[in-house]
Amino acid sequence: MAMMAVPKPDAYVMTASEWKRIKEASADKESTKKNEELRKEFVKLCMRKKKS
């Protein structure tokens, strides 16, 4: 993906009810667990702390 996130709005604004909905939906989401599993595998396979 060439262009994924860009700068920048002055401020992010949302309604309280929307924040509540997103928080509840987020708590049920599998992606958090999946993110961590895939990340750990990536660190094991690919990440280096110092230049070789």
Partner 1 sequence: MGKHAEDIYVRMCRLTPKIAAYIDDFDCGNQNLNQYVAADRHDASTVGYLFLDDKRDNVISYASVACAGVMIRGDIPGETFVDNENTTLSAMEIKIFATAKQYQHMKMHETSTKEDTLSSRIFRQTLFVLRNISVRHIGSKGVVVYSVPKAVSFYERHGFFRFSNEMTRNAECFLAGCVPMIMPWV
26, amino acid identity: S
Taking the complex as a whole, the smallest distance from the CB of residue 33 to partner 1 amounts, in Å, to 10
Q: Does 49 bind partner 1 (CB under 8 A)?
A: yes
Q: From residue 1 to residue 40, what is the string marking binding to partner 1 with x (rule CB under 8 A)? A: xxxxxxxxxxxxxxxxxxxx-xx-xxx-x-xx--xx-xx-
Taking the complex as a whole, the smallest distance from the CB of residue 41 to partner 1 amounts, in Å, to 8
Cis peptide before 50 (omega within 30 of 0): no
Q: Does 44 bind partner 1 (CB under 8 A)?
A: no
Question: Which tokens in the block code for residue 51?
Answer: 């230049």
Question: Which tokens in the block code for residue 18?
Answer: 């929307």
